[in-house]
Each structure stands twice: as structure tokens, then as C-alpha cells.
């Protein structure tokens, strides 16, 4: 799952995830609220959180995700590392600075995924399915 605003950055993350054979489905959420709701409901193996939104929401999403789905792994892409004086308060499996090399990002993504491979019956599929998680509409 990718939680990031639509645009070139999210498209690049999606393209990178498509290249990892263990990925079967990519859920896309464009804001913190839909990302948090979907992550807790879907319990994905991996959630990539882009911090390009105000409010420190990525840490809230990560806390709720770990509480609801302890097996889920999370990667936060940020412009600055969290407060080093409180390392135990960051419930994520990896934090990378935006601007890191594509190789570093790709290796981090691969290392966070479980070891299982795609279902052999789905081996002929060229790419994982992609599903946009939508914000509920209010009347």
C-alpha cells in the first residue's frame, strides 16, 4: 500500500513496487484518513507512507497499523528523521530520507516484504493489480 498524494512521486513508488515479484496487489491512498482506514481494514504486508502532508499523520497511521496488524511492515519517506531522543516512539520498520538513491529505496522495499512468492497460478500475470482507495463522499 502506498499512502501519498497523487503525482510523479507516488507514480514512481508504484512503478518500483510493480517490479518486485512478491507484490500481488498495490493499494493507493491519497490522504492520511483514507490511508489509515484502508491500512487497518486491509492489513497489507507493507505500507509506504510519504510525509508530504502536514500534521505528522504518518506516525499516527503507523501506530494504528501496528496495533491492528502487527505483521504489517511500514516504511516512512521523510524530509527529516524523527526525534532521536525518542527512538522507541517511532513504530515503523524503516525510515528513509527523501532523495535517497533508487537503489537504497528498492532494497529497503524488498527487505521489508515477506519471503513468500506469488501464487504459482498467478505467475503469468505481468504486474500486480492496482486499486485506488477512495475517501468516502459526504452528502
Pure H helices in the chain = 8-18, 32-42, 57-68, 102-112
What cell numbers appear for 86 in the block?
Answer: 525518542
pLDDT tens figures, 97-135:
888 899 999 999 999 988 765 455 545 555 577 778 766
Q: Report residue 62 as a C-alpha cell.
A: 503507523
Q: How far apart are CA 51 and CA 49, in angstroms?
A: 6
Cell numbers for 5: 498524494
> Alpha-carbon distance 107 to 126, whole Å?
21
pLDDT at 136: 53
120: DSSP letter: G
What are the structural domains of the chain? Answer: 2-114 (3.40.50.2300)
pLDDT at site 125: 54
Give the pTM.
Answer: 0.79
What whole-number distance in Å separates Cα of residue 3 and Cα of residue 63? 15
**pLDDT recorded at residue 108:** 93
Q: Give the distance from CA 13 to its chain's centroid.
A: 9
Q: What is the pLDDT of residues 25-66, one digit of tens each?
A: 899 998 878 888 888 888 899 999 888 766 667 777 777 778
Give the C-alpha separation, 53 to 73, whole Å. Answer: 21
Amino acid at each position: 500500500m502506498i499512502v501519498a498524494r497523487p503525482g510523479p512521486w507516488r507514480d514512481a513508488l508504484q512503478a518500483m513496487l510493480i517490479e518486485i515479484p512478491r507484490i500481488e496487489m498495490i493499494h493507493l491512498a491519497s490522504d492520511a484518513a483514507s490511508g489509515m482506514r484502508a491500512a487497518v481494514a486491509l492489513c497489507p504486508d507493507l505500507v509506504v507512507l510519504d510525509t508530504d502532508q502536514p500534521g505528522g499523520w504518518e506516525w499516527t497511521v503507523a501506530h494504528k497499523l501496528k496495533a491492528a496488524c502487527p505483521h504489517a511492515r511500514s516504511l516512512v519517506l521523510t524530509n527529516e528523521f524523527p526525534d532521536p531522543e525518542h527512538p522507541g516512539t517511532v513504530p515503523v520498520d524503516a525510515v528513509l530520507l527523501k532523495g535517497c538513491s533508487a537503489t537504497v529505496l528498492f532494497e529497503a522495499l524488498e527487505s521489508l516484504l515477506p519471503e513468500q512468492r506469488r501464487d504459482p497460478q498467478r505467475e503469468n500475470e505481468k504486474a500486480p493489480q492496482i486499486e485506488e482507495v477512495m475517501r468516502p463522499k459526504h452528502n
